[in-house]
C-alpha cells in the first residue's frame, strides 16, 4: 500500500450495503482471509481520514479539527442487547467499537450532523466522522498499528452511550 491512498466507501454497485459499519466489518473479514487482523482504530481511520485522503479532501473532511466540515456520527456502543452484553465484559473502548463494527446496524447510529447541521435520519457518507467527547491516549493502538499505516489514535474520538 506504500504510496497508495486507501479508504472505505459504501456503494451497492461495488458492494452489498450502504452501511459503513457493515463495510468496515467486510474489510476486517477480507483482511483476515489474507492473514491480517485490522484493529478497530484502523477500520475507523479507513472509513474517515483514509477516505478523505483518497478523495484528496483531507484538508476539509475526515477528521474532527478546527476548520474542517463538522460531519459527525454519534455511535451507540450498546445499541442491541448482544452488543451491550459484550460491552459489559469488555476491557477497553476499542473492544466496544469492534463489537459494534462487527455486529452493529442502523440502530447503532444515534445521531448525525453534516457540515455542522443535525440531520433527521442517518445518511450514509463516504467519510463519516465519529463524535468526540474525550480524546483517547496516544498509545491506544501503537502495538497493532504501524505508524505509516495509521495516524495517531487521538484523531479518533468516540461518544460512548450506555
Q: Mind listing the pLDDT tens digit of every residue in the chain (162 residues)?
A: 578 898 988 876 666 788 899 999 999 999 999 999 999 999 999 999 999 999 999 999 898 888 888 788 889 999 999 999 999 999 999 999 999 999 999 999 988 888 888 876 544 433 333 333 333 333 332 222 222 223 332 233 333 343
Task: Tell me if residue 49 falls in helix, strand or coil.
Answer: helix
- DSSP H helices, 17-131, are 20-33, 40-45, 51-54, 81-88, 93-103
Q: Which residues, in sequence order, are bridge partners of residue 135? A: 157
C-alpha cell belonging to residue 147 = 505508524
DSSP 45: H
Let me know: does 46 contact 145? Beta carbons within 8 Å.
Answer: no
pLDDT tens digits, 16-51? 788 899 999 999 999 999 999 999 999 999 999 999
Q: What percent of the chain has pLDDT over 90?
A: 44
The backbone torsions φ and ψ at residue 13, rounded to the nearest 5 degrees and listed phi first, read: -70, -30
Amino acid at each position: 500500500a506504500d504510496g497508495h491512498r486507501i479508504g472505505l466507501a459504501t456503494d451497492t454497485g461495488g458492494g452489498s450495503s450502504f452501511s459503513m459499519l457493515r463495510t468496515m466489518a467486510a474489510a476486517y473479514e477480507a483482511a483476515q482471509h489474507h492473514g491480517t487482523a485490522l484493529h478497530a482504530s484502523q477500520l475507523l481511520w479507513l472509513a474517515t481520514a483514509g477516505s478523505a485522503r483518497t478523495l484528496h479532501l483531507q484538508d476539509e473532511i475526515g477528521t474532527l479539527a478546527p476548520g474542517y466540515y463538522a460531519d459527525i456520527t454519534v455511535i451507540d456502543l450498546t445499541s442491541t442487547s448482544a452488543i451491550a452484553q459484550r460491552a459489559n465484559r469488555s476491557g477497553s473502548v476499542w473492544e466496544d467499537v469492534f463489537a459494534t463494527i462487527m455486529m452493529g446496524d442502523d440502530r447503532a447510529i444515534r445521531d448525525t450532523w453534516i457540515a455542522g447541521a443535525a440531520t433527521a435520519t442517518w445518511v450514509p457518507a463516504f467519510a463519516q466522522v465519529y463524535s468526540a467527547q474525550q480524546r483517547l491516549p496516544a498509545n491506544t493502538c501503537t502495538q497493532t498499528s504501524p505508524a505509516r499505516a495509521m495516524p495517531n489514535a487521538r484523531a479518533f474520538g468516540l461518544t460512548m452511550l450506555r
